[in-house]
Amino acid sequence: MSQPLFQLDGRTAVVTGATGKLGPIWAEALLDAGATVAALDLPGAAPSPAFTALASRAGDRLRRFDCDVTQRASIEAAVEALVRQFGEPAILVNNAGVDQPPDSGGNRSRIDDLPIEQFRRMVEVNLLGTFQVTQIAGQRMVDASRGSIINIGSLYASVSPDQRFYDHLAGDLPFLKSPAYGASKAAVVNLAKYFATLWGPSGVRVNTLSPGGVLAGQDESFKTKYSARVPLGRMAQAADLKGPLVFLASDASTYVTGHELRVDGGFTAW
């Protein structure tokens, strides 16, 4: 009997940045579809409650591996370790990234004096980290002549942040959503297209999943303003993201590569 299209039994999936905000969502979706999951994150990074709960029920199908995506040697060591534990990766979710959540208002900058170190750090993690993990784990997929790589983008890869979402936040200076986040995510989308064309002949598909704003304890004013800008009238919930990820990871999307799947409730349609 042929394997159902959305089933991932027997496949090893790698998720970077797995212990934080979105990582447990991707890991849970892959586990529920039958995959084993190698969860990569920084050494010493405190796991979120969601990841801890997931790990407690997943048993030996989920294992955490230390990995700094900005350090090639760290990535190589993590990939070698996960291959010994689970076998060759068939799915890679490039989720590790640095965002800029609204702050407490005490240490802000204007655009003309925005620290270049902040911009550099976002590019280093979001873009260069994604590139290096793709180089190392993706090449193993090329060698095996199969695999699905999913970069996690953002709606801000294609549109600019609406600074009015944040103008209710108190502080000496207005909160300014950095240009570095969207710029790095736009580059991640293009990077997926590059590898999709390069590795397509080798049987490796590369796509981007770009979520809209995900509900995660934001203040009521932000949620109201953001939701008013979304055709579906609300922020994303974890359940909204799982199906699209499994689609891209599974045989349901065997003729889909180089694509950016926006899961944003229609935000970018306006």
Virtual torsion, Cα 197, 200, 205, 207, nearest 10 deg: 10
CA gap 229, 213 in Å, rounded: 11
Helix (H, G, I), strand (E, B) or coil at 240: helix
Contact criterion met (CB below 8 Å) for 230 and 212: yes
Contact criterion met (CB below 8 Å) for 126 and 185: yes
| 181 catalytic residue (yes or no) | yes
Task: Select which of 166, 181, 194, 226 is catalytic.
Answer: 181
Helix (H, G, I), strand (E, B) or coil at 28: helix
Instruction: Give the number of other CB atoms < 10 A from CB of residue 229.
Output: 16
Cα four-point dihedral sign 36, 41, 43, 46: negative
Helix (H, G, I), strand (E, B) or coil at 71: coil
Active site residues: 181
